[in-house]
A and B are shown apart, each in its own frame.
Chain A
């Protein structure tokens, strides 16, 4: 999957700037993490920070940031793990020709993610949410020569954008109910939101947004496909960040939207279903990266399940597990990347015996896997004990939650074995070449991350008071204390842990038979979500091309018919709806020259319509145009009249240039469309006339035109009101119009050039 090897030539040319970039890349996130760590004592004391600038004052939108326990935890994870990912990526992508592009995407993503978790305003949050969507699209599709990567990137983009749109509507509704977009005020108006009739729409829309981002059922399928990204990206996006954005949103919305049955049941059931489905799928995988991707889904499902509850123990379990998961999952993704890079494959069946040649990698892998499996004294163990404690504290359905928790944890134990035992300790397959230990840049990050898992496990107070507690208090909305410890005494969670290990080890030992059984089972499954996605896309495309064939068949007459019919229907609806008829209109007394202009116009129109030859029709149209210009002149609009005349002139020149190239129109044949087109045109003309009269009939109480008349000389320094409006009062509009003119010219040239090239072939 890595094409760096066969680009040696380019590598040497661009090595120097790329290397400097690689060396500097961990610095910005490290600085950010240090700043956050300086704030840590304040955060543990329960203090909050909020700062920002007004953005759109009229709509009450500001670019505001807000740091409390929850956003602090996420921001620290994002910047902290970002440092290690940057170090790892520097070694992993060394000499890659597109290194600059990679770092640009990565930083864009990092900024988006940090902005998202630190946002103190609903709109700010949404903007950064979309930044992460776009940058993750670019990151997943980084290997843009691979069709698989492009498809996966597009899939991720479409799914998360769907969620993003729902989220936007949800946030707007929430903002209107809470009467503010500022997060602190929204957090304070939880009661109003609960009482509002819009509560359910808000809840569902925001949940769809979060579920799409965090790959919950039924939007889960994009996450395993996103493994097409380079491994550092997978480690970053799918351990600490992107997919946790949805979790962050759920946690952020917990004080506002939770404490209802809807919230409880939707989150618990979706989370449990996602975790269970992902667990079954994880067992089937032979690709190590995919297996890890499915355990990420398990983790996300589990966290969602626990966030469904408002019990303190359950939320604490969710937050602690989030922390635990970020450490071990990032480390394991990196280890898989090392295996892939050094051995040339990450297929489980082709790997084995790497333990002796990669002593350091194996330490990192084992430590991370032990944390993932939840062995003491790793942080994972504490996380798991908390999960079981939380599961028993869930009010709605403790039995379901506990069963799912035990099952998915058992599968996690099995997958941990698959990743950390099989490639390293199984007998080495014949075809595997000699494998060397990875360079230090590759193994240092997973080693530190998994080491942190052990350190925090031995001294849980390091994270308990400073990180978990403030976040927990932020989610629950009340100060809450929690003591993380390794040994709780012999109790039900410990018994469940032992059950998990037995189940997990049994599954690991019987993996071959389990796989065979699952394979048979999946072969008979009717369809997968991924296939359904493909089908729905195909359906959409089929619909698009069908309606294009009908509405835009390439024949001018059809386009005009469609446009005229649409306008006629809209006008007729508006006229009937507003009840503006019968019209009482004072017909003006026309003098002779006005009658002449009218005659010229109407006669021109009639001739153009009935002409048999294009040239005559065009000349008639010219007469019509001159007639209209005269009418403008008589009504006292010389500017418009001049413009009309000039446009008529140039139009004639243009048409004369096109005319020789038009297909010869055969007037001899009996044509059915003429009466039809004439009727359509007449109806449209009549309707437009009627609506203009109706508009004139409405008393206009608008001071704008009076303002223009009064302000033209003193403010605009001009006596020609039309021009003062064009270039001063409404200059922005005019600017937009000249851009349109310019764009139209370019578009026409492009189309003509295309024709020209086709003609030459």
Chain B
């Protein structure tokens, strides 16, 4: 599609949507959002880019083949699930490392759950883009 308005708007919008998707990914644990939704948002960013600039540009903008992205997402999710094995828990049980505060007051803590969510994000993004690119090419 050769639309100057769409193309110009897309340049700004895609960056915004991608940042928004990461925001959705990170806030997901406490507010509406999460890896699945964020992955879909990011995918729609690239879909928009593809519509405005064409499939070739979208693919080169992504830099990595979307299939690899999806595969590494699945792998990251699997590995983060396996982290639980080090502490002797069942696979995929959450592991928390509390940096500040305690259970009742909250505070900052990091966990493999976020890594798992990133895996979901990448898997969804990669899978949807694989589909879109393949359909546009076919």
Contact assessment for B34 and A639 in the assembled complex, using a CB-CB cutoff below 8 Å: yes
* A728 adjacent to chain B (CB < 8 Å): yes
Which partner residue on chain B sits nearest A719 by CB separation? B30
* 13 A-B interface contacts by CB (under 8 A): A638-B32, A642-B32, A717-B29, A720-B33, A723-B29, A731-B81, A731-B93, A735-B116, A741-B123, A742-B74, A745-B127, A745-B131, A748-B134
Q: How far is the CB of B58 from chain A (nearest CB, A)?
A: 12
Q: Once bound together, how far apart are the Cα atoms of A643 and B44, in whole Å?
A: 12
Interface locus among A58-66, A191-199, A359-367, A649-657: A649-657
Q: Per-residue 0/1 for B112-138: is the Cβ within 8 Å of any A Cβ (1 yes, 0 no)?
A: 010011011001101110111011111
Chain A residues lying within 8 Å of B29, measured Cβ to Cβ, are 717-720, 723-724, 727
Q: How far is the CB of B61 from chain A (nearest CB, A)?
A: 16
Chain A residues lying within 8 Å of B131, measured Cβ to Cβ, are 654, 745, 748-749
Contact assessment for A720 and B123 in the assembled complex, using a CB-CB cutoff below 8 Å: no
Chain B residues lying within 8 Å of A147, measured Cβ to Cβ, are none
Which partner residue on chain B sits nearest A743 by CB separation? B127
* A37 adjacent to chain B (CB < 8 Å): no
Which of these, B36, B43, B134, contacts A726 with CB under 8 Å?
B36
Q: How far is the CB of A721 from chain B (nearest CB, A)?
A: 10
Contact assessment for A720 and B136 in the assembled complex, using a CB-CB cutoff below 8 Å: no
Contact assessment for A726 and B34 in the assembled complex, using a CB-CB cutoff below 8 Å: yes
Contact assessment for A722 and B34 in the assembled complex, using a CB-CB cutoff below 8 Å: yes
* A714 adjacent to chain B (CB < 8 Å): yes
Q: How far is the CB of B18 from chain A (nearest CB, A)?
A: 14
Q: Once bound together, how far apart are the Cα atoms of A710 and B105, in whole Å?
A: 16
Contact assessment for B81 and A752 in the assembled complex, using a CB-CB cutoff below 8 Å: no
Q: Is the interface of B mostly helix, strand, loop or mixed?
A: helix
Chain A residues lying within 8 Å of B111, measured Cβ to Cβ, are 717
Q: How far is the CB of B62 from chain A (nearest CB, A)?
A: 14
Chain A residues lying within 8 Å of B44, measured Cβ to Cβ, are 646, 649-650, 653
Which partner residue on chain B sits nearest A733 by CB separation? B92
Which of these, B28, B37, B78, contacts A646 with CB under 8 Å?
B37
Q: Per-residue 0/1 for B23-41: is the Cβ within 8 Å of any A Cβ (1 yes, 0 no)?
A: 0000011111111110011
Which partner residue on chain B sits nearest A715 by CB separation? B94
Chain A residues lying within 8 Å of B28, measured Cβ to Cβ, are 720, 723, 727
Which of these, A717, A732, A742, contacts B91 with CB under 8 Å?
A732
Q: Once bound together, how far apart are the Cα atoms of A722 and B117, in whole Å?
A: 13
Size bin of chain B's contact surface? 35 or more
Contact assessment for A738 and B119 in the assembled complex, using a CB-CB cutoff below 8 Å: yes
Q: How far is the CB of B25 from chain A (nearest CB, A)?
A: 10
Q: Per-residue 0/1 for A647-674: is the Cβ within 8 Å of any B Cβ (1 yes, 0 no)?
A: 1011001100110010000000000000
* A716 adjacent to chain B (CB < 8 Å): yes
Which partner residue on chain A sits nearest B117 by CB separation? A727
Q: How far is the CB of B93 from chain A (nearest CB, A)?
A: 8
* B14 adjacent to chain A (CB < 8 Å): no
Which of these, A723, A738, A744, A745, contacts B67 with CB under 8 Å?
A745
Contact assessment for B33 and A717 in the assembled complex, using a CB-CB cutoff below 8 Å: no
**Pair count A-B, CB < 8 A:** 146
Q: How far is the CB of A654 from chain B (nearest CB, A)?
A: 6
* A746 adjacent to chain B (CB < 8 Å): yes
Which partner residue on chain B sits nearest A730 by CB separation? B92
Q: How far is the CB of A238 from chain B (nearest CB, A)?
A: 43
Q: Once bound together, how far apart are the Cα atoms of A719 and B91, in whole Å?
A: 23
Contact assessment for B130 and A749 in the assembled complex, using a CB-CB cutoff below 8 Å: yes
Q: How far is the CB of A731 from chain B (nearest CB, A)?
A: 4
* B52 adjacent to chain A (CB < 8 Å): no
Chain B residues lying within 8 Å of A726, measured Cβ to Cβ, are 34-36, 120
Contact assessment for B34 and A723 in the assembled complex, using a CB-CB cutoff below 8 Å: yes
* B77 adjacent to chain A (CB < 8 Å): yes
* A756 adjacent to chain B (CB < 8 Å): yes
Beyond A649-B44, A723-B33, A752-B138, whether A738 also contacts B130 by CB under 8 A is no
Chain A residues lying within 8 Å of B74, measured Cβ to Cβ, are 735, 738-739, 742
Contact assessment for B134 and A749 in the assembled complex, using a CB-CB cutoff below 8 Å: yes
* A734 adjacent to chain B (CB < 8 Å): yes
Chain A residues lying within 8 Å of B117, measured Cβ to Cβ, are 723, 727
Contact assessment for A654 and B34 in the assembled complex, using a CB-CB cutoff below 8 Å: no
Chain B residues lying within 8 Å of A702, measured Cβ to Cβ, are none
Which of these, B43, B109, B123, B135, contacts A738 with CB under 8 Å?
B123
Beyond A643-B40, A654-B131, A735-B77, whether A742 also contacts B116 by CB under 8 A is no
Best-surrounded residue of A639, A714, A722, A745 (most CB of chain B within 10 A): A745
Chain B residues lying within 8 Å of A745, measured Cβ to Cβ, are 67, 70, 126-128, 130-131
Q: How far is the CB of B106 from chain A (nearest CB, A)?
A: 8
Chain A residues lying within 8 Å of B32, measured Cβ to Cβ, are 638-639, 642, 720
Q: Once bound together, how far apart are the Cα atoms of A335 and B90, in whole Å?
A: 55
Chain B residues lying within 8 Å of A718, measured Cβ to Cβ, are 29-30, 113
Q: Once bound together, how far apart are the Cα atoms of A723 and B111, in whole Å?
A: 14
Which of these, B73, B94, B126, B127, contacts A716 with CB under 8 Å?
B94
Q: Once bound together, how far apart are the Cα atoms of A731 and B92, in whole Å?
A: 6
* B51 adjacent to chain A (CB < 8 Å): yes
Beyond A718-B29, A727-B35, whether A742 also contacts B70 by CB under 8 A is yes
Which of these, A642, A653, A714, contacts B47 with CB under 8 Å?
A653
Chain A residues lying within 8 Å of B77, measured Cβ to Cβ, are 734-735, 738
Chain B residues lying within 8 Å of A739, measured Cβ to Cβ, are 74
Contact assessment for A719 and B31 in the assembled complex, using a CB-CB cutoff below 8 Å: yes
* B103 adjacent to chain A (CB < 8 Å): yes
* A755 adjacent to chain B (CB < 8 Å): yes
Q: How far is the CB of A726 from chain B (nearest CB, A)?
A: 6
Which partner residue on chain B sits nearest A754 by CB separation? B138
A244-266 interface (Cβ within 8 A of B): none
* B6 adjacent to chain A (CB < 8 Å): no
Q: Once bound together, how far apart are the Cα atoms of A428 and B105, in whole Å?
A: 98
Q: Once bound together, how far apart are the Cα atoms of A646 and B20, in whole Å?
A: 13
* B13 adjacent to chain A (CB < 8 Å): no
Beyond A661-B138, A745-B128, A745-B131, whether A646 also contacts B40 by CB under 8 A is yes
Chain A residues lying within 8 Å of B41, measured Cβ to Cβ, are 646
Q: Once bound together, how far apart are the Cα atoms of A714 and B81, in whole Å?
A: 20
Contact assessment for B136 and A657 in the assembled complex, using a CB-CB cutoff below 8 Å: yes
Q: How far is the CB of A4 from chain B (nearest CB, A)?
A: 40
Which partner residue on chain A sits nearest B127 by CB separation? A745
Contact assessment for A752 and B134 in the assembled complex, using a CB-CB cutoff below 8 Å: yes
Q: Once bound together, how far apart are the Cα atoms of A642 and B47, in whole Å?
A: 17
Chain B residues lying within 8 Å of A714, measured Cβ to Cβ, are 103
Q: Per-residue 0/1 for B93-110: is the Cβ within 8 Å of any A Cβ (1 yes, 0 no)?
A: 110100000010000010
Q: How far is the CB of B45 from chain A (nearest CB, A)?
A: 11
Q: Once bound together, how far apart are the Cα atoms of A654 and B43, in whole Å?
A: 12
Contact assessment for B113 and A728 in the assembled complex, using a CB-CB cutoff below 8 Å: yes
The 5 closest A-B pairs by CB, nearest first: A718-B29, A745-B127, A646-B40, A731-B92, A738-B123
Which of these, A653, A727, A742, contacts B132 with CB under 8 Å?
A653
Chain B residues lying within 8 Å of A654, measured Cβ to Cβ, are 131-132, 135
Which partner residue on chain A sits nearest B71 by CB separation? A742
Beyond A638-B32, A727-B35, whether A741 also contacts B92 by CB under 8 A is no
Best-surrounded residue of A642, A661, A724, A753 (most CB of chain B within 10 A): A642
Contact assessment for A749 and B34 in the assembled complex, using a CB-CB cutoff below 8 Å: no
Q: Per-residue 0/1 for A23-63: is the Cβ within 8 Å of any B Cβ (1 yes, 0 no)?
A: 00000000000000000000000000000000000000000
Q: How far is the CB of B35 from chain A (nearest CB, A)?
A: 7
Q: How far is the CB of A297 from chain B (nearest CB, A)?
A: 48
Contact assessment for A735 and B70 in the assembled complex, using a CB-CB cutoff below 8 Å: no
Q: Once bound together, how far apart are the Cα atoms of A647 and B128, in whole Å?
A: 10
Chain A residues lying within 8 Å of B78, measured Cβ to Cβ, are 735
Which partner residue on chain A sits nearest B111 by CB separation? A717
Q: Once bound together, how far apart are the Cα atoms of A738 and B77, in whole Å?
A: 9
Q: Once bound together, how far apart are the Cα atoms of A735 and B79, in whole Å?
A: 11
Contact assessment for A643 and B94 in the assembled complex, using a CB-CB cutoff below 8 Å: no
Chain B residues lying within 8 Å of A728, measured Cβ to Cβ, are 93-94, 113
Q: How far is the CB of A11 from chain B (nearest CB, A)?
A: 39
Chain B residues lying within 8 Å of A649, measured Cβ to Cβ, are 44
